[in-house]
Structure 1
Amino acid sequence: MLDFSTRARGDAEGRTWDAWTNLVADDMLRESIIASVLLALLTVAGMVVLLVPTMIWVRLRLPHLNRLVEFLCLLPLAIPALVIVVGIANVYSWVTYLFGDSPLTLTFAYVVLVLPYAYRSLDASLGAIDLVTLSEATRSLGGTWFTVIVRVVLPNIVPGVMGAAFISIALVLGEFVFASLLNFVTMPVALAQIYKYDAATSVAGSFASIVVISLALLALSFVGRDRRKGQTS
């Protein structure tokens, strides 16, 4: 991909970085990249706010609903994205009416899309700690449920939260079906449109996305290793 995107076109020889400069020079592509990055951040925030307190509360107060929550979170994995889009298309007409036609409104759909992957990561981290003992100790010392979740449990499941966050970012940056069928121009949609007349720029954008996600996942592995070393020492 790097070779193709830097190869000189036509009769010219050598290498050129024109395709890479187009990533910021082209107005539509630049705006779509910004929109996708903001979507990724908003999706991560929405996922954490929705899923972390829910999973903690269910494990502590309503353990008999744990299987039901797991089933609901994993359901988007079993239903094709195309079917989900068809099902929420009418709902999104109201979303755009209330919040405008910005691509950022895709946050609501993307939070649902990342639930299966985020749930597994968070579930593994919550299962690795004694959640009941931590919560009871905090409550016995006068801590509120907000203190239990934010100041006690959350710091102990940071690897799980970061894993869920990076997976969510990877999914959002590469998601095409939702954005395309709901008529929003995100980075994958813009790259698909540009590919019709400028394949080199499209490939450069795709390769840049792969590199960013790979570096993020690599950084996550080192962060998790550093935390384990700190706990061991």
Structure 2
Amino acid sequence: MKAWLRWLILALFAIYFFGPLLSMLDFSTKKNGGGRTGAAWKALVTDEQVRHAIVQSLLLCVATVVLMLVLLVPTMVWVRLRLPRLRRLIEFLCLLPLTIPALVIVVGINGVYAWVNYFFGYSPLVLTFAYVVLVLPYSYRALDASLSSIDVTTLAEAARSLGAGWFTVIVRVVAPNLGAGILSAAFISVALVLGEFTFASLLNYQTLPVVIDLFGKSDSHVSVAASLGTIVFASLLLLLLSFAGRRSRGPKGV
């Protein structure tokens, strides 16, 4: 491919990707009467409702990632080592949320969440249970690809022959070799949780996407600033994911 054509494609991609982001930045810093202001961005820190929504969403990301990894990693490793016949069933169950619209899932769990709120209190953090189901398909694929790249059986048998228990095998032997898969699953889960609106809105929880939607009706500048911040944060996570994946693979021939 000629050099000028590569630069043209790169320029078109930059316009396509950064054009809307620059427009959002331009709008969020405009004054109604003309000029520039950082009031909308300052509101992300000073406004109590926005600040609380950001904190709750970040805590929700952490809780979702932790619960997803605690449930998925030991299950997938155990199935590969001891119950290989159930591998297709586990894969089917993990990918099932892709085939069911989020609206249908919300309607189905709405009654269950009345009891969840009763036992755990009315907090956006209880959305962790629903969000784990939502991120399962993407997390499963990331972890499955990482597991397929290593010889789990040999690692487990070597550790067991040295007297290690199954907990040690999973946590201290297999899990450290799944660094890229765990990072992929974690970053993708964070990006999905930060942008999820349907569950939180229909279940009446004040997460960041819901608050952004509310501010869109009263203060569009703050709404756009929060949206841009979320997009940039998720994009940085995915960029870190790509670098982490390259480092975990290492140079060729090693």
TM-score by length of 2: 0.89
Deviations 1:92-120 (A, max 9, x none): 00000000001101000001110000000
Q: Which runs of 5+ in 2 are unaligned?
A: 1-23
CA shift in 2, pair 1:157/1:231, >3 Å: farther
Residue identity matched to 1:55: M
Distance across 2 between alignment mates of 1:101 and 1:170: 24
The match for 2:204 among 179, 183, 195 is 183
The match for 2:77 among 50, 56, 60 is 56
- Residue 36 of structure 2 aligns to a residue whose secondary structure is coil
- Residue 250 of structure 2 aligns to a residue whose secondary structure is helix
- Alpha-carbon distance, 1:62 to partner: 0.6
Residue identity matched to 2:88: R
Corresponding residue for 2:17?
none
The answer on 1:222 being equivalent to 2:243 is yes
Corresponding residue for 2:176?
155
Q: In 1, are the aligned partners of 2:179 and 2:248 still within 8 Å (CA)?
A: no
- Residue 7 of structure 1 aligns to a residue whose secondary structure is coil
- Residue 196 of structure 1 aligns to a residue whose secondary structure is helix
Corresponding residue for 1:204?
225
The match for 2:112 among 84, 91, 94 is 91
CA shift in 2, pair 1:40/1:232, >3 Å: farther
Residue identity matched to 1:144: G
- Listed as ranges, the matches of 1:162-177 within 5 Å are 162-177=183-198
Residue identity matched to 2:222: T
- Alpha-carbon distance, 1:217 to partner: 1.3
The answer on 1:22 being equivalent to 2:43 is yes
The match for 1:47 among 45, 49, 68 is 68
- Alpha-carbon distance, 1:67 to partner: 0.6
- Alpha-carbon distance, 1:229 to partner: 2.3
Corresponding residue for 2:16?
none
Residue identity matched to 1:3: D
Corresponding residue for 2:89?
68
- Alpha-carbon distance, 1:221 to partner: 1.5
Deviations 1:173-200 (A, max 9, x none): 0100100111100000001001101111
Distance across 2 between alignment mates of 1:232 and 1:193: 53
- Residue 103 of structure 2 aligns to a residue whose secondary structure is helix
Q: Which runs of 5+ in 1 are unaligned?
A: none
Distance across 1 between alignment mates of 2:252 and 2:78: 26
Distance across 2 between alignment mates of 1:223 and 1:82: 34
Deviations 1:133-168 (A, max 9, x none): 110111011011111111111111110010000000
Corresponding residue for 1:2?
25
TM-score by length of 1: 0.97
Distance across 1 between alignment mates of 2:252 and 2:160: 24
Residue identity matched to 2:26: D
- Residue 218 of structure 2 aligns to a residue whose secondary structure is coil
The match for 2:151 among 127, 130, 133 is 130
How many residues align? The count is: 231
Corresponding residue for 2:165?
144
- Alpha-carbon distance, 1:227 to partner: 2.5
Distance across 2 between alignment mates of 1:144 and 1:127: 22
